[in-house]
């Protein structure tokens, strides 16, 4: 038995090395790598990690001041408005523009707790990705093993077809020498036909399973592909205690629950921060410009103002002279509206749209302390505490499930390994029995019915051997899935 298993190991390793260096072959590791890059469901699950990273960046961004800029433009028709019988407003159309910058910042205890909670969510997202990767690996391994088992069945059915064809030749030879019957020949011909159908169905099943495998990989099958077989069965070298320790440290599903528990604890702290003060800072800057479309209105107003001032000055001068005081007529004559002043007024009016006049800037600091919000804070705090407690229960439930899954997968692997050895013995015994039955039938020491029975026993034993080998590899895959990482 040991020699037989050793031969299987050597042949399997040699075949694997040869297959990896030849085109048109696919190993299990290659299949897993292809699936990680191309499986659409797995690629969708990677977006959760990106969203968590963006949420963490947003949490850090809460420490930075918010800023917004504005620019506006306006137009007012040059038509006075009447209030209480008095007309107000310019008679010229007015165009205007303005700009503004606003800065604001808001910091509280919740700002700090949100950062810690976002970090915990990032850890949970990373664990979710690891769990999705492990689930993808388990799915690919299961389908790879199914496809390999189907190909092994094709090989078995082809070998059986050769055996029944040999039986047909033996039956014909015995009939030719008079030691057999035509019934044996017909029965052998029927057996050949049935075996051809079985081989055809096995080949079709292998084709379908391989197509399903490439569907899991997320790519189209590039023509004929040969899967590198897994035929070795070695005794597990782990102990159950060691496996449980590895699972508690490596299982991504458990790590995701633990990270969500930490995030829920941060949620409680965030809810409690509603009782703490909030500091708000603000700053506003701005400017404006106003321009009359008809600058002559401003010139006329300035000219009228100058003439009014001159007339008022002359009135004052007449009163002074009547009172015997010195005349100020020279000063009054100096009050003039010159063309240079008119030009300056026209130039000063050209401010639209970017010749701004700065507005006074504003700075403000506010410290607010919430007093009462109709029990809203109490409700949010209790809900956060409930979420934290539920997250703790989820962690405990996952730990219990982890222990049960790892233990059951370990015992199943041990049973599968022992089954492989027994099935190898059965297959070897069935092979010897079939060889002996063929020899006995050849010399006329047994009937064709006994030969058919021996061949059927060999087929069942060989099929069971193939099933045992791939059940062993499935048990390994189940154990790795329960532990949370590859073990081989």
Q: Write the pLDDT tens digit of every residue in 286-317.
A: 999 999 988 888 898 899 999 999 999 999 98
| 59-105 pLDDT, tens digit each | 999 999 999 999 999 998 887 777 766 666 667 888 999 999 999 99
Residue 363 lies in a domain: no
Region 385-390: mean pLDDT is 96
Half-sphere exposure at residue 209, Cβ-oriented, CA atoms within 13 angstroms: 23
Residue 83 lies in a domain: no
Is the domain of 267 the same as that of 300?
no
Is the domain of 404 the same as that of 336?
no
Residue 128 lies in a domain: yes
pTM of the model: 0.75
Is the domain of 331 the same as that of 204?
no
Is the domain of 243 the same as that of 182?
yes
Is the domain of 114 the same as that of 209?
yes
Q: Which two tokens stand for residue 154?
A: 């094709």
Q: Which two tokens stand for residue 357?
A: 């006049």
| 322-359 pLDDT, tens digit each | 888 899 988 999 999 999 999 999 999 999 989 999 99
The domain that holds 136 is classified in CATH as 1.20.1600.10
Residue 290 lies in a domain: no
Residue 82 lies in a domain: no
Give the C-alpha distances (Å, rounded to integers) separating 65 from 62, 104, 111, 112, 363.
8, 5, 13, 15, 14
Is the domain of 268 the same as that of 300?
no
**By three-state DSSP, how is residue 488 classified?**
coil
Q: Can you tell me the distance from the alpha carbon of 117 to that of 270, in angstroms, rounded to the nearest whole number? A: 9
Is the domain of 218 the same as that of 301?
no
Domain region containing 328: 296-349
**By three-state DSSP, how is residue 407 classified?**
helix
**How confident is the model at residue 459, as a pLDDT?**
94
Is the domain of 165 the same as that of 313?
no
CA-nearest of 394, 379, 129, 132 to 260 is 394
Is the domain of 162 the same as that of 227?
yes
Q: Can you tell me the distance from the alpha carbon of 203 to that of 197, in angstroms, rounded to the nearest whole number? A: 10
Residue 52 lies in a domain: no
Is the domain of 381 the same as that of 339?
no
Q: Can you tell me the distance from the alpha carbon of 297 to that of 342, in angstroms, rounded to the nearest whole number? A: 11
What are the backbone dihedrals phi and psi of residue 398, each rounded to the nearest 5 degrees, phi first?
-70, -35
| 154-199 pLDDT, tens digit each | 999 999 999 999 989 988 988 888 887 889 899 999 999 999 999 9
Q: Which two tokens stand for residue 358?
A: 């700065």
The mean predicted confidence, pLDDT, of the chain is 89
| 225-282 pLDDT, tens digit each | 899 988 778 888 889 999 999 999 989 999 999 999 999 999 999 899 889 999 999 9
Residue 355 lies in a domain: no
Q: Return the CA Rg of the chain.
A: 46
Q: Can you tell me the distance from the alpha carbon of 114 to that of 105, in angstroms, rounded to the nearest whole number? A: 16
Give the C-alpha distances (Å, rounded to integers) separating 417 from 218, 230, 319, 423, 469.
32, 14, 129, 10, 8
State the DSSP H helix or E strand holding residue 95, giving kind and residue range, or none if neither: strand 94-107
Residue 204 lies in a domain: yes
Q: Can you tell me the distance from the alpha carbon of 34 to that of 31, in angstroms, rounded to the nearest whole number? A: 5
What is the domain count for the chain? 2
Is the domain of 216 the same as that of 341?
no
CA-nearest of 18, 480, 73, 131 to 288 is 73
CA-nearest of 436, 438, 462 to 159 is 462
């Amino acid at each position: 038995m040991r020699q037989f298993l050793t031969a299987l190991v050597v042949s399997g390793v040699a075949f694997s090395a040869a297959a990896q260096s030849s085109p048109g072959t696919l190993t299990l590791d290659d299949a897993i790598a292809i699936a990680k890059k191309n499986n659409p469901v797995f690629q969708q699950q990677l977006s959760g990690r990106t969203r968590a990273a963006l949420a963490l960046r947003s949490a850090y961004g809460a420490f930075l001041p918010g800023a917004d800029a504005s620019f506006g433009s306006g137009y007012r028709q040059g038509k006075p408005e009447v209030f209480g019988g008095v007309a107000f407003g310019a008679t010229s159309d007015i165009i205007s523009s303005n700009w503004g910058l606003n800065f604001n910042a808001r910091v509280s205890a919740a700002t700090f707790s949100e950062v810690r909670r976002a970090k915990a969510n990032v850890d949970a997202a990373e664990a979710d990705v690891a769990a999705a990767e492990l689930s993808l690996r388990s799915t690919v391994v299961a389908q790879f093993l199914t496809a390999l088992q189907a190909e092994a069945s094709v090989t078995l059915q082809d070998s059986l077809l050769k055996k029944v064809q040999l039986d047909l030749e033996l039956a014909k030879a015995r009939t030719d020498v008079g030691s057999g019957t035509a019934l044996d020949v017909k029965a052998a011909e029927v057996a050949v036909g049935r075996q051809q159908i079985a081989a055809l169905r096995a080949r079709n099943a292998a084709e379908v399973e391989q197509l399903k495998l490439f569907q899991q990989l997320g790519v189209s099958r590039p023509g004929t592909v040969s899967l590198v077989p897994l035929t070795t069965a070695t005794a597990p070298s782990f102990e159950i205690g060691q496996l449980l320790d590895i699972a508690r440290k490596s299982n991504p599903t458990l790590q995701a629950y633990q990270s969500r528990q930490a995030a829920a604890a941060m949620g409680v702290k965030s809810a409690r921060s509603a009782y703490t003060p909030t500091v708000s800072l603000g700053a506003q800057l701005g400017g404006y410009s106003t321009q009359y479309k008809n600058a002559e209105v401003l010139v006329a107003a300035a000219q009228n103002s100058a003439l009014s001032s001159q007339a008022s000055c002359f009135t004052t001068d007449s009163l002074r002279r009547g009172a015997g005081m010195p005349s100020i007529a020279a000063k009054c004559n100096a009050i003039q509206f010159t063309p240079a002043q008119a030009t300056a007024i026209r130039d000063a009016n050209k401010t639209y749209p970017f010749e701004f006049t700065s507005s006074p800037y504003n700075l403000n600091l506010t410290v607010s302390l919430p007093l009462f919000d109709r029990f809203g804070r109490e409700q949010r705090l209790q809900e956060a505490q409930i979420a934290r407690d539920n997250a703790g229960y989820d962690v405990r439930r996952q730990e219990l499930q982890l222990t049960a899954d790892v233990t059951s997968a370990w015992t199943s692997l041990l049973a599968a390994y022992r089954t492989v050895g027994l099935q190898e013995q059965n297959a070897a015994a069935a092979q010897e029995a079939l060889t002996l039955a063929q020899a006995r039938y050849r010399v006329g020491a047994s009937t064709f019915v006994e030969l058919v029975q021996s061949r059927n026993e060999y087929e069942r034993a060989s099929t069971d051997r193939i099933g045992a080998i791939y059940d062993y590899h499935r048990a390994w895959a189940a154990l790795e899935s329960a532990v949370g990482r590859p073990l081989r």
